[in-house]
Structure 1
Amino acid sequence: MIAALSLVAASHVLNRLETKYYIAGAVRPRYTLAERMRHYRVPAVSVAVINDYTVVWSHAAGLRDVASKTPAATSTLFQAASMSKPVAAAGILALFEAKHLNLDADVNTMLRSWHVPPAPGNSSERVTMRRLLSHSAGINVHGFVGYDRDATLPTLVQVLDGTPPANSEAIHVVAVPGSATAYSGGGTSIAEQLAVDATSEQFPEFMRQTLLGPLGMTDSTFAQPLPQALWPRAGDGYYADDRPVHRGWHVYPTMAAAGLWTTPSDLATFVIAIQNALRGRGEPPIDTTVAREMTTRA
């Protein structure tokens, strides 16, 4: 059965990619993966397919390093960018459940190394972990551009304060917490600092122990910079005009917001853990409570 599903998945991904929209009455366009990669000038793609709570097929195409003509493999590590956020959120929710911490408490009562500056105005609403993870805490800074591998890196506290060598503005409350949803990598970085303060662990080690290890996501890490031992497996980055990113990739001290290196198969493992928990078959670190918190609108 798995073998048959693998063949079907392979056929669809490699030879039958379809556009979401097409002209009524016209033949729906179909493309091969290679055609779409050329069209969008994407040097490498890695894919994993889930069916019935199982990864049934994985595949990599193209070059992880164009200059050396090194092929991509299913074990090639890619920067997950903002897909780091839900993985980090699951780890933080598991921490709160294990330590019986209150998702609706003022985070300043738990932060030690840094505190959220007082909000403007006289609102009694507080910045809470539930609001940070649901992007409803009223925090600024949409995202982070990262740092050149040769650059001096800021600490997370320097990023939160917006002080050199951080290249982003200070993180603070700009709207009444709970009043609206506005995407905020800054808010995710506050959540990261709280996890570090609550565990006295560096964030990559906290995530390895709390989530990645227990789920068997052995091809994933939040380590920033990427450890040298993993450089040969890293997929290089390229701009839209085909220029390579200097030295291959950027570094993200804001690990929870953008620091995950992973593979599609590991991300699929994470998704399956949530699916299983939501159908009553979850276990720590992603049990039913954590999965429901992750999928319930705040």
Structure 2
Amino acid sequence: MTTGRGLVLGEHARMNSSMTRTAALALCLAVVGNVHAVPCKEQPGAAERRQAVERGLLPAVVFDDEVQPQTLAARMLEHGVPGLAIAVLRGGEVDWVAVHGRRASQAPAVGCATLFQAGSLAKPVTVLAALRLQDAGRLDWDCDVNGLLTSLRLPAGRQTPEHPVTLRGLLVHTAGITPGGYPGYAQAGPVPTAVDVATAAPGTNTPRPEVVLRPGEQLRYSGGGYTLAQLALQDSQKLAFEPLMQRWLFQPLGLSRATFALQRQDAGGDVAAGHGNGATAVPGGWLHLPESAAAGLWSNAGDLAALLAELRKGWQGRSQVFQQSSVRALLGTPVERHLYGFRLVGDGKEQFLVHYGGTTGYNAGMAVNLQTGDGVVYLANAEAGRELSVELLAAVSHAYGWTQFRETRVRRAERDEAALHGLAGRYRFANTGVRVQVEQTQAQLTLVFPNGDRLALTPITADGVALQFIHPTGVRVGFRRGEAGAVTMHLYGNQGVRENSP
């Protein structure tokens, strides 16, 4: 399913498969082969900065005095990421672009033009095309979206004449549309249209997008909302989505590789094939995502970096593509730290616009600081790119002197079996209704999520709180004891209460 990076209760990083570590590394070695950097573009002096990134990867969680930096090649091998494309922005300009690894096992090396599936990065890209259409007077973001749609009519739900579903609401995730993402369709089978998806026609694999909350009431991340936005753009402009995006965004920006066209494996294009956990190849190379605006973007790193650089110019008033007043209006009204497909990370001069994307076999992300012009893009042809990207972003942060995206540094604590007594049991989070389990085996606690993921927790000393634990992915858990044996858990910013003990 397409997802964002934001970790909330129940949406946590997936663990590797149960294959033995030796077998996994052997398979990764076969897939990754000889990982080396191929520079695609470099500013003067950028080679040294790039090499600092490639030599400076640390795990997401670093225990004091226990870990030394490793190379990007070594971490790609460890995680099972066959291929990777990276671009870094510095002061508003693309500082360097480089590619690493292979498109697949026994496949050619990743090239500067190689396409990766970028998943939900499609969402902010779609927003920027819609912004240009609005500035051209060709698109009303605030009318009832049924006035833009001709291929279907939005079914009756929680919307009213006073609170209609609008294109703006769809783009900012406040239209009240059914939440969720898209799993994709196999290469060998039929591929539905966006209209088929939006009406849940036979052969589709997701529910029909419906208005389940009153529009404007709540932020709710929805791939279905972006499919409706896609149809509103297509119908109002009388143009299919790919040529629409080429005309209104990619061509004006001079982007030669970014595309929403479905890629066929039998066409023999320069495409990186996707890989699941353990570097296992996706059957057919990749899945099709006809839900273009939500998840159907293909690109190389250079094109996405150029887009971020031009967005920053628009924010400054130096762009020939984006109007400053429109960019500032767009990015000046966050909703729960979300901005039309972007998320806000950090504050003040250290604030980045960020978006991540994950599809079957791929992981991607991009970030830009509009004040400094610093930023980064990465594209990986493996789901394990999610874990690798945490280390990559931290390495970029160190090499370029940013304060965001750094690794978590903690000090290991010693906790004996008696100190953990009474923490095991089932915990319920009242705000979501989700329940998680904590198991104790001697002096080891394990956090078990509803989907079966098991996270072995390491005790740490942090903030003067005795019962703090962390997992290598960065998931942090705290416990507090109350009266009469009561215990509360703190996880992802939420509080759960123990319902029972084992």
The TM-score, its normalising length taken from structure 2, stands at: 0.56
Partner of 1:295: 331
Structure 2 letter corresponding to 1:52: G
- For residue 310 of structure 2, the aligned residue among 269, 273, 284 is 273
| 1:85-126 superposed Cα distances (whole Å, 9 cap, x missing partner) | 111111112112212533221111121111211123868311
- For residue 300 of structure 2, the aligned residue among 256, 263, 267 is 263
Deviation of 1:288 after TM superposition, in Å, equals: 1.6
Closer, same or farther: CA 253–39 of 1 in aligned 2, 3 Å: same
Partner of 1:170: 208
Deviation of 1:39 after TM superposition, in Å, equals: 1.9
Structure 1 letter corresponding to 2:79: Y
Partners of 1:226 and 1:124 in 2: CA distance: 45
The TM-score, its normalising length taken from structure 1, stands at: 0.92
Closer, same or farther: CA 47–114 of 1 in aligned 2, 3 Å: same
Answer yes or no: is 1:30 the counterpart of 2:69: yes
Partner of 1:3: 44
Tell me, yes or no, if the aligned pair for 1:19 and 1:29 is still in contact at 8 Å: no
Partners of 2:247 and 2:110 in 1: CA distance: 28
Deviation of 1:26 after TM superposition, in Å, equals: 2.8
- For residue 79 of structure 2, the aligned residue among 24, 40, 51 is 40
Higher share in helix: 1
Answer yes or no: is 1:115 the counterpart of 2:188: no
Partner of 1:95: 133
Closer, same or farther: CA 31–295 of 1 in aligned 2, 3 Å: farther
- Who wins on radius of gyration, i.e. which is larger? 2
Partners of 1:98 and 1:69 in 2: CA distance: 44
**1:1-298 superposed matches below 5 A:** 2-4=43-45, 6-19=46-59, 21-23=61-63, 25-26=64-65, 29-66=68-105, 68-120=106-158, 124-226=162-264, 231-284=268-321, 286-296=322-332, 297=334
Q: Secondary structure at the match of 2:184?
A: coil
Closer, same or farther: CA 191–143 of 1 in aligned 2, 3 Å: same
Partners of 1:58 and 1:192 in 2: CA distance: 30
Q: Secondary structure at the match of 1:30?
A: coil
CA RMSD after TM alignment: 2.0
Deviation of 1:134 after TM superposition, in Å, equals: 0.8
| 1:224-269 superposed Cα distances (whole Å, 9 cap, x missing partner) | 245965x431000011032211111111111111111101110001
Where does the alignment leave 5 or more consecutive residues of structure 1 unmatched?
none
Closer, same or farther: CA 181–238 of 1 in aligned 2, 3 Å: same
Q: Secondary structure at the match of 1:232?
A: coil
Partners of 1:135 and 1:70 in 2: CA distance: 40
Tell me, yes or no, if the aligned pair for 1:140 and 1:186 is still in contact at 8 Å: yes
Q: Secondary structure at the match of 2:133?
A: helix
Q: Secondary structure at the match of 1:50?
A: strand
| 1:39-79 superposed Cα distances (whole Å, 9 cap, x missing partner) | 2111111111111221121111111021x231112211100
Tell me, yes or no, if the aligned pair for 1:88 and 1:256 is still in contact at 8 Å: yes
Partners of 2:252 and 2:159 in 1: CA distance: 44
Tell me, yes or no, if the aligned pair for 2:116 and 2:300 is still in contact at 8 Å: yes
Deviation of 1:293 after TM superposition, in Å, equals: 4.3
| Deviates further, 116-125 or 189-198 | 116-125
Moved over 6 A (4+): none
Deviation of 1:133 after TM superposition, in Å, equals: 0.7
Partners of 1:101 and 1:60 in 2: CA distance: 38
Partners of 2:159 and 2:137 in 1: CA distance: 33
Structure 2 letter corresponding to 1:287: Q
Structure 1 letter corresponding to 2:259: T
| Same amino acid, percent of matched pairs | 31
**Bigger relative contact order, structure 1 or 2 (CA pairs below 8 A, ≥6 apart):** 1
Partners of 1:293 and 1:21 in 2: CA distance: 37
Structure 1 letter corresponding to 2:162: S
Tell me, yes or no, if the aligned pair for 1:212 and 1:218 is still in contact at 8 Å: yes
Partners of 1:235 and 1:121 in 2: CA distance: 42
Closer, same or farther: CA 246–59 of 1 in aligned 2, 3 Å: same
Q: Secondary structure at the match of 2:304?
A: helix
Tell me, yes or no, if the aligned pair for 1:123 and 1:176 is still in contact at 8 Å: no
Partners of 2:326 and 2:227 in 1: CA distance: 20
| Deviates further, 237-246 or 182-191 | 237-246
Closer, same or farther: CA 122–266 of 1 in aligned 2, 3 Å: closer
